[in-house]
Amino acid sequence: MPPPPQRTRDFAPQRTRDFALSPDEIARFQALVKPAVVLLLMLRLDRPAGPRELADLLGLDEHTVAKYLRTLTHLNLVARSGYHGGYVLLGGRQLIFGEALRQAGIGEPKRSQLCGLPHLTLQGVRTWESQLMHDKGSRYATGLLVYVLESGDPPPPANANGHILSCDCSECQYLKYRLCPYCDAYPCQCPD
């Protein structure tokens, strides 16, 4: 009978799942492990709060809470409300659209202004960015994306990745070889 296998320190199996999150998004969630308690308390308070008040409520050191607030600020989840005003939680639309606009190269304060537009959608931001990058190539500028998003024009048709239909990026290349979800054929045999 063979001897039992040796145990190693790393006995957790390696996970090789295909997550729908990018490595950057995974890193952001990992950075939230400890600051999440401050974020949850700010959600409950629903008003500006400073590090001293939050530290007293949580029973933590004020410097630790200040560090967590800096992390949350860096992740665009909270913002400083003046020198003595403490920190405020950024709204839901800003949490969703703020990251997409940040990745598109749009900074503050324009990013916050765009988040307030009622016609703005996450897919619209990605599709317009893809369309403009495709059309303009090296002449693409973030200011043009801001102008188009503010104009309220409907975004062009998009594929499953949120890019334009004619996108040739590496993320969209595999879509060309997938079976149609309606007719289960490649290429699609659906009547137009």
Burial class of residue 65, CB neighbours in 10 A (0-12, 13-18, 19+):
buried
pLDDT of residue 172: 73
Q: Is the peptide bond before 109 cis (omega within 30 degrees of 0)?
A: yes
What is the pLDDT tens value at each position of the chain, 192 positions in all?
A: 666 655 555 544 445 455 567 777 788 778 788 898 998 888 777 677 889 999 999 999 999 999 999 988 888 788 887 667 788 777 655 556 667 787 788 887 787 778 777 777 777 888 888 888 888 888 888 888 888 888 888 888 877 767 777 777 777 776 666 667 677 666 667 776
pLDDT score for 51: 92
According to DSSP, the residues that pair with 164 across neighbouring strands are 158
DSSP string, 6-62: PP-S--SPPP----SS-HHHHHHHHHTTTTHHHHHHHHHH-S-B-HHHHHHHHT--H
Spans of all domains in the chain? 23-90, 93-164
- Give the pLDDT of residue 83: 67
- Count CB neighbours of 122 within 10 A: 14
Handedness of CA 30, 31, 34, 38 (dihedral sign): negative
* Residue 131 backbone phi and psi in degrees, to 5: -60, -45
- What is residue 31's predicted lDDT score, i.e. its pLDDT? 79
**How far is the C-alpha of 150 from the C-alpha of 148, rounded, in Å?**
5
- Whether residue 42 contacts residue 87, with contact meaning beta carbons closer than 8 Å, is answered with yes
Q: What is the pTM of this model?
A: 0.46
Respond yes or no on whether the N-terminal peptide bond of residue 35 is cis (omega within 30° of 0). Answer: no
CATH 1.10.10.10, domain 23-90, yes or no: yes
Confidence at residue 16, expressed as pLDDT on a 0 to 100 scale = 45
